[in-house]
Amino acid sequence: MRNTNNELQRYTAAYFSNEDDLKGSTAEARLRGFTIHDVFSPFPVHGMDEAMGLKPSRITWAAFAGGLAGLVTAVVLQIWTSAYDWALNIGGKPFNTPLLFVPVSFELTVLFSGLTSVIVLFYLSGLNPFSKRKSLPGVNDDKFVLVLDHSGASFRKEAADEIFSKYNAEKVVEGDLV
Amino acid sequence: MDVPIEKLELSIDERRIRNEVGRITQHPAVSPLREPLVTGNKSYSDVTNDINVIHEQGAGLGWWIALAISSSLLLIGLIAGYLTVTVGIGTWGLNRTVGWAFDITNFVFWIGIGHAGTFISAILYLFNQKWRTSINRSAEAMTLIAVMCAGIFPIIHMGRPWLFYWFLPYPNSRGSLWVNFRSPLLWDFFAISTYFTISLVFWYIGLLPDIATARDRARTKFRRKLYTILSLGWNGSNRTWSRYETVYGILAALATPLVLSVHSIVSFDFATSLIPGWHSTIFPPYFVAGAVFSGFAMVMTLMILVRKVMNLEDYITLDHFEKMCKVTLLTGSIVGLAYITELWTGFYSGNPNEIFMIINRVLGPYAWAYWIMFTFNALVPQLFWFKRFRRSIPLIFVLSIFINIGMWFERFVIIMISLHRDYLPSSWTYYLPTTVEAGLLIGSFGLFFTAFLIFLRLFPIIAASEVKGVLKYAKH
Amino acid sequence: MKGEKLWKEFLDTDESGKPAAPKLPVYGISRRSFLSALGYSAVGLSLLNCRVPEQKIVPNLAKSPEQTPGVANWYASTCSGCSAGCGTLVKVRDGRPIKIEGNPAHPVSKGGLCAVAHSLVFSLYDSERLKQPLIGGQPSDWTEVDRQVGAKLASIKQSRGKVRFLSNTIISPTSKALIDNFLGTYEDARHIVYEPVSTAAISAAHLETHGVGSIPGYKIQNAKLLVSFDADFLGTWISPVRFTKDYSAARDLKNGQRSMLRHIQYEARMSVTGANADTRFTTSSAEQNEALTFLLTALVEKSGQSKSVNYNLLPPSGISPQMTQHLETTADELLNHRGESLVICGSNDPDVQLVVNFINETLGNYGTTIDVNSPSPHTQNSDGTFAGLIEEMKNGEVAALFLLNVNPAYDCYAAKEFTEALKKVPLKVSFDPTLDETALSADFVCPNHHSLEAWDDAETDSGIYSFNQPTIAPLFQTRAYQESLMRWSGDVRSFYDVLRQTWQQTNFTKQTKFSKFDDFWDQSLHDGIFADQTVKEPVTRTFNDKGLNDALLRLNKTEQSDYSLVLYQKTSMRDGRFANSPWLQELPDPITKTSWGNYASISPGAAEKLSLTEGDVVSVKKNNSAIELPVLIQPGQSDDVVAVALGYGRTHAGKAGNGVGANAFPFVEFLNGTFRYQAANIDIAATGKRSELAKTQIEESSHGRPLAQNIALSQYVSGDHPIKQTEFEKLFAEHDYPEHKWGMVVDLSACTGCNSCVLSCQAENNIPVVGKQEVAKMRDMHWLRVDRYIDSNPDGTEVTFQPLPCMQCENASCEMVCPVLATVHSSEGLNMQVYNRCVGTRYCANNCAYKVRHFNWFDYPRDDKLANMALNPDVTVRTRGVMEKCTFCVQRIEEKKIQARNEGRPIKDGEIQTACQQSCPADAIIFGDLKDLNSMVNANKKSGRNYILLEDLNTKPAVSYLAKVRNRKESKEDH
Please report the domains of chain C, with CATH numbers, ordered by start residue.
2-129+455-481+493-527 (3.30.200.210), 135-198+379-445 (3.40.50.740), 200-371 (3.40.228.10), 563-695 (2.40.40.20), 710-719+746-966 (3.30.70.20)
Helices (H), B364-392: 367-373, 387-390
Angle at B131 between CA B127 and CA B133, to 5 degrees: 95
- Report helix, strand or coil for C616: strand
Angstroms from C847 CA to nearest CA on chain B = 6
Judge whether residue A28 has pLDDT over 70. yes
Chains that touch B (3 or more CB pairs under 8 A): A, C
For position A152, what pLDDT does the model report? 64
Query: Is there a contact between C824 and A92 if contact means CB atoms under 8 Å apart?
Result: no
Spell C659-685 as b/e; 16+ CB within 10 A means b.
ebbbbbbbbbbbebebbbbbbbebebe
DSSP of C326-393: HHHHHHHHHHHTTTSEEEEE----HHHHHHHHHHHHHTT-BTTTEESSS--SS----HHHHHHHHHHH
> What does the alpha-carbon distance between residue C159 and residue C155 come to, in Å, rounded to a whole number?
6
CB within 8 Å of A37: residues ≥ 6 apart: A11, A147, A148, A149, A177
> What does the alpha-carbon distance between residue C942 and residue C929 come to, in Å, rounded to a whole number?
14
Q: Looking at the partner chain, which of C815, C826, C827 has a beta carbon nearest the beta carbon of A91?
A: C815
CB-based burial of residue C367 (10 Å sphere; 0-12 exposed, 13-18 middle, 19+ buried)? middle
| Amino acid at the residue C519 | D
> What does the alpha-carbon distance between residue B170 and residue B178 come to, in Å, rounded to a whole number?
7
Give contacts of B192 with chain A, Cβ < 8 Å: none
What pairing do the DSSP bridges indicate for beta strands C669-671 and C674-676?
Answer: antiparallel
C-alpha torsion B392→B393→B396→B400, nearest 10: 180
> What does the alpha-carbon distance between residue C380 and residue C207 come to, in Å, rounded to a whole number?
12
> What does the alpha-carbon distance between residue C334 and residue B113 come to, in Å, rounded to a whole number?
73
Confidence of residue C1 (pLDDT cuts 50, 70, 90): very low
pLDDT in tens, B55-104: 888 778 888 999 999 999 999 999 999 999 999 999 999 999 999 999 99
> What does the alpha-carbon distance between residue C344 and residue A110 come to, in Å, rounded to a whole number?
77
- Report helix, strand or coil for A66: helix
Confidence of residue C558 (pLDDT cuts 50, 70, 90): low
- Paired residues of A38 in beta bridges: A147
C731 close to A (CB below 8 A)? no
Q: Looking at the partner chain, which of B190, B239, B469 has a beta carbon nearest the beta carbon of A38?
A: B239
Give contacts of B213 with chain A, Cβ < 8 Å: 42, 140-141
> What does the alpha-carbon distance between residue B416 and residue B428 come to, in Å, rounded to a whole number?
12
Closest listed residue to residue B213, CA positions, set B380, B383, B50:
B50
Domain positions in chain A: 9-42+138-177, 59-124
Q: How many CA atoms lie within 13 A of C498 on its CB side?
A: 23
Could you give the C-alpha distances from A144 to A15, A45, B45, B52, B228, in angstroms and in order? 6, 10, 12, 19, 21
- Can you state the angle between helices B61-87 and B136-156, rounded to 10 degrees? 20
Q: What is the DSSP letter of B474?
A: T
- Paired residues of C798 in beta bridges: C791
**Run of H or E residues at C555:** helix C548-555
For position B473, what pLDDT does the model report? 58
The gap between the terminal CA atoms of chain C, to the nearest Å, is 73
Helices (H), B218-281: 221-231, 238-271
For position C41, what pLDDT does the model report? 37
- Report helix, strand or coil for B193: helix
For position A139, what pLDDT does the model report? 83
- Cβ–Cβ < 8 Å for C627, C619: yes
For position C533, what pLDDT does the model report? 77
CB within 8 Å of C933: residues ≥ 6 apart: none
Helices (H), B283-366: 283-309, 318-348, 352-363
Confidence of residue C903 (pLDDT cuts 50, 70, 90): very high
> What does the alpha-carbon distance between residue C964 and residue C710 come to, in Å, rounded to a whole number?
5
Angstroms from C814 CA to nearest CA on chain A = 7
Q: Looking at the partner chain, which of B20, B43, B469 has a beta carbon nearest the beta carbon of A27?
A: B20
Confidence of residue B407 (pLDDT cuts 50, 70, 90): very high
For position C507, what pLDDT does the model report? 84
Q: Looking at the partner chain, which of C841, C850, C853 has a beta carbon nearest the beta carbon of B158?
A: C841
- Report helix, strand or coil for C77: strand
Residue C858 region by backbone torsions, left for phi larger than 0, else alpha for psi between -120 and 50, else beta: beta
For position C544, what pLDDT does the model report? 81
Closest listed residue to residue C486, CA positions, set C458, C446, C438, C459:
C446
**In C794-843, at which residue ranges do the beta strands (DSSP E only) sit?**
796-804, 823-825, 831-833
Residues in chain A: 178
Give contacts of B230 with chain A, Cβ < 8 Å: 129
Residues in chain C: 975
Mean pLDDT of C913-937: 92
Closest listed residue to residue B258, CA positions, set B127, B155, B119:
B119
Residues in chain B: 476
pLDDT in tens, C487-498: 998 888 899 999
pLDDT in tens, A149-173: 877 666 777 888 888 888 888 888 8
For position A31, what pLDDT does the model report? 82
> What does the alpha-carbon distance between residue C161 and residue C561 come to, in Å, rounded to a whole number?
46
pLDDT in tens, C764-811: 999 999 999 999 999 999 999 999 999 887 767 889 999 999 999 999
Judge whether residue C305 has pLDDT over 90. no
DSSP of C298-315: HHHHHHT--TT--GGGSP
pLDDT in tens, C80-102: 888 888 899 999 988 889 999 99
> What does the alpha-carbon distance between residue C891 and residue C877 come to, in Å, rounded to a whole number?
13
Rg (CA), chain C: 28
For position A37, what pLDDT does the model report? 84
For position C316, what pLDDT does the model report? 55
Mean pLDDT of C403-431: 91
pLDDT in tens, B244-268: 989 999 999 998 899 889 999 999 9
Averaged pLDDT score across all residues of chain C:
85
- Can you state the angle between helices B238-271 and B102-118, rounded to 10 degrees? 150
Judge whether residue C62 has pLDDT over 60. no
- Report helix, strand or coil for B246: helix
Which of B194-208, B228-242, C369-383, C426-440 has the least mean pLDDT?
C369-383
DSSP of B96-132: SS---SHHHHHHHHHHHHHHHHHIIIIIHHHTT-GGG
For position C917, what pLDDT does the model report? 92
Write the CATH number of the domain with boundaries A9-42+138-177.
3.30.70.260
Angstroms from C827 CA to nearest CA on chain A = 8
Query: Is there a contact between C813 and A90 if contact means CB atoms under 8 Å apart?
Result: no
> What does the alpha-carbon distance between residue A7 and residue A12 come to, in Å, rounded to a whole number?
16
Q: How many CA atoms lie within 13 A of C961 on its CB side?
A: 27
> What does the alpha-carbon distance between residue C30 and residue B159 come to, in Å, rounded to a whole number?
32
Q: Which of residues 245-274 of B touch A (CB under 8 A)?
A: 245-247, 250-251, 254-255, 257-258, 261, 265, 268
> What does the alpha-carbon distance between residue A35 and residue A32 come to, in Å, rounded to a whole number?
9
> What does the alpha-carbon distance between residue C380 and residue C215 come to, in Å, rounded to a whole number?
8
3-state percent breakdown (helix, strand, coil) of chain B, nearest 5? 75, 0, 25
- Cβ–Cβ < 8 Å for C422, C409: yes
Q: How many other CB atoms are there within 10 angstroms of residue C458's CB atom?
A: 29
> What does the alpha-carbon distance between residue C790 and residue C636 come to, in Å, rounded to a whole number?
9
Angstroms from B202 CA to nearest CA on chain A = 9
Question: How many secondary structure helices (H) and strands (E) does chain A include?
Answer: 5, 4
Query: Is there a contact between B159 and C816 if contact means CB atoms under 8 Å apart?
Result: no
- Cβ–Cβ < 8 Å for A25, A16: yes
Angstroms from C885 CA to nearest CA on chain B = 11
- Paired residues of B147 in beta bridges: none
Q: Which of B424, B430, B434, B436 to mutate to test the interface with C (most CBs of C within 10 A)?
A: B424
For position C20, what pLDDT does the model report? 42
Judge whether residue B7 has pLDDT over 80. no
> What does the alpha-carbon distance between residue C317 and residue C312 come to, in Å, rounded to a whole number?
12
Domain positions in chain B: 42-163+181-469
> What does the alpha-carbon distance between residue C758 and residue C779 come to, in Å, rounded to a whole number?
15
Residue B128 region by backbone torsions, left for phi larger than 0, else alpha for psi between -120 and 50, else beta: left
The gap between the terminal CA atoms of chain A, to the nearest Å, is 4
Select the more confidently predicted residue: C376 or C693: C693
- Paired residues of C96 in beta bridges: C93
pLDDT in tens, C524-555: 888 888 888 777 777 777 888 788 888 887 87
Give contacts of C826 with chain A, Cβ < 8 Å: 89
pLDDT in tens, C428-444: 999 999 999 999 999 99
Q: What is the DSSP letter of B301?
A: H
Judge whether residue C19 has pLDDT over 80. no
For position B116, what pLDDT does the model report? 84
pLDDT in tens, B153-173: 999 999 999 999 998 888 887
Q: Which CATH number fits domain B42-163+181-469: 1.20.1630.10, 3.40.50.180, 1.10.10.60, 2.60.40.420?
A: 1.20.1630.10
> In chain B, what percentage of residues exceed pLDDT 70?
95
Q: Looking at the partner chain, which of C816, C837, C955 has a beta carbon nearest the beta carbon of B177?
A: C837
For position C620, what pLDDT does the model report? 93
Mean pLDDT of C267-282: 91
